[in-house]
């Protein structure tokens, strides 16, 4: 860590900072410049908040040198993580598409969804059984019945299942039905949930919160990894900005940034990223072009009648077209899709 003292910081102030650093286990190097004294701390780990030093008297600023995450870091596994579930590999040469409705609504609907997904060439079906809705008066999901229908439809069509776990009490249930646990954007910093998932050995996809920095997303991954569950995927799905022509602003640059900082597979969700069906295809192409290892998109046989998220859900023929286009983009960069 580094602490930069203010111009005119007194010896007493500098000594107080050194004392605090030593107390925390750092070896301190002091270097005195014309205007500023800089203190460099070297230590085993750096679990501290730079701001704790910035409020000490005479301190101008403080910086952490070592990243606050370890296991999620690209340094930890430079070659990259490939997560293999059955025949499907996440993080390899093939760009995996996960698709399906926002919510499981019934047997017929999910069966039709599975057919659309499978015929389009996707390998994983998505569908929510527990729906977190901002209004208490909206449809809240089918619960376990929905999960069972989702599993059955997936099995009939040879698909894997991804579904969201809303809190730690639901983990056992989801383990029974889903191949991949999804942690939603609103739960990205539900650390109890992350810790419990870290104790399982089930692949997990962690979605970025709408106000979360990339570093915070990596720290959330670290929670799962530090429990011994190494099969973690990260998902960009839009951040909240001032722009209102899309529901969120999809941060496509997060894809190359994550590919550089971490070894974990990076997925993109253009449905939530834009919130509007008409922009999903262009953003799916952009995500693949930027290096995403997979896509997560919403498709429904009749989006106008979907019980949730209809506005961002592709029609069947749009989904087919998206698959064709993302396949062409993948090939242009030496991958398959």
Nearest to 233, CA basis, from 251, 250, 221: 221
Neighbours of 90 (CB within 10 A): 26
**Pick 180 or 283: Cβ nearer a second copy:** 283
Minimum CB distance to a second copy, residue 270 (Å): 9
**Pick 8 or 87: Cβ nearer a second copy:** 8
**Pick 85 or 109: Cβ nearer a second copy:** 109
Q: CA-CA-CA-CA torsion for 194, 195, 196, 201, nearest 10 degrees? A: 90
Minimum CB distance to a second copy, residue 4 (Å): 5
Minimum CB distance to a second copy, residue 259 (Å): 8
**Pick 85 or 188: Cβ nearer a second copy:** 188
Nearest to 88, CA basis, from 100, 79, 96: 96
Helix axes 107-120, 144-157, angle to 10 degrees: 40
Residue 253 neighbours by CB under 8 Å, 6+ apart: 290
Q: Both tokens of residue 230? A: 């190494």
**Pick 110 or 283: Cβ nearer a second copy:** 283
**Pick 154 or 286: Cβ nearer a second copy:** 286
**Pick 77 or 195: Cβ nearer a second copy:** 195
**Pick 159 or 188: Cβ nearer a second copy:** 188
Indicate the SS3 state at residue 255.
helix
Q: How many residues does the structure list for the chain?
A: 337
Burial of 212 (0-12, 13-18, 19+ CB in 10 A): middle
Maximal C-alpha separation, the chain: 75
Minimum CB distance to a second copy, residue 204 (Å): 15
Q: CA-CA-CA-CA torsion for 189, 191, 196, 199, nearest 10 degrees? A: 90
- Beta strands 27-32 and 232-236 are unpaired
Report which DSSP code applies to 135: S
* Measured CA distances, 46 to 59, 60, 68, 69, 222 (Å): 19, 19, 7, 10, 15
Nearest to 313, CA basis, from 91, 96, 112: 112
Torsional sign, CA 95, 96, 99, 103: negative
**Pick 57 or 155: Cβ nearer a second copy:** 57
Minimum CB distance to a second copy, residue 93 (Å): 16
Phi, psi values for residue 331, rounded to 5°: -65, -35
Minimum CB distance to a second copy, residue 233 (Å): 18
């Amino acid at each position: 860590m580094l602490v930069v003292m203010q111009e005119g910081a007194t010896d007493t102030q500098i000594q107080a900072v050194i004392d605090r650093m030593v107390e925390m286990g750092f070896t301190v190097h002091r270097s005195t410049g014309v205007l500023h004294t800089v203190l460099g701390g070297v230590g085993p780990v750096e679990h501290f908040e730079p701001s704790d030093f910035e409020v000490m008297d005479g301190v101008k600023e403080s910086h952490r040198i070592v990243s606050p995450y370890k296991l999620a870091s690209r340094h930890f596994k430079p070659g990259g993580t490939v997560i293999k579930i059955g025949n499907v590999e996440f993080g390899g040469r093939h760009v995996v598409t996960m698709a399906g409705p926002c919510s499981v609504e019934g047997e017929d609907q999910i069966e039709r969804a599975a057919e659309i997904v499978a015929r389009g060439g996707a390998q994983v079906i998505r569908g929510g059984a527990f729906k977190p809705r901002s209004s208490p008066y909206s449809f809240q999901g089918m619960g376990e019945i929905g999960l069972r229908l989702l599993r059955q439809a997936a099995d009939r069509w040879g698909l894997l299942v991804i579904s969201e776990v809303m809190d730690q009490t639901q983990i056992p249930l989801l383990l029974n039905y889903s191949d991949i646990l999804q942690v939603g954007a609103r739960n990205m910093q539900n650390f109890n949930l992350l810790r419990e998932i870290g104790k399982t050995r089930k692949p997990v996809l962690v979605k970025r919160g709408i106000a979360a920095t990339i570093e915070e997303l990596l720290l959330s991954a670290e929670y799962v990894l530090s429990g011994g569950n190494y099969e973690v995927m990260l998902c960009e799905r839009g951040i909240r900005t001032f722009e209102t022509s899309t529901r969120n602003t999809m941060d496509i640059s997060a894809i190359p940034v994550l590919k550089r900082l971490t070894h974990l597979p990076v997925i993109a969700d253009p449905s939530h990223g834009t919130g509007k069906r008409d922009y999903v295809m262009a953003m799916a192409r952009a995500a693949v072009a930027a290096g995403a290892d997979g896509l997560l998109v919403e498709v429904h046989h009749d989006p106008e009648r979907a019980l949730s998220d209809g506005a961002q859900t592709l029609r069947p023929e749009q989904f087919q077209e998206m698959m064709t286009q993302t396949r062409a983009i993948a090939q242009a960069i030496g991958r398959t899709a």
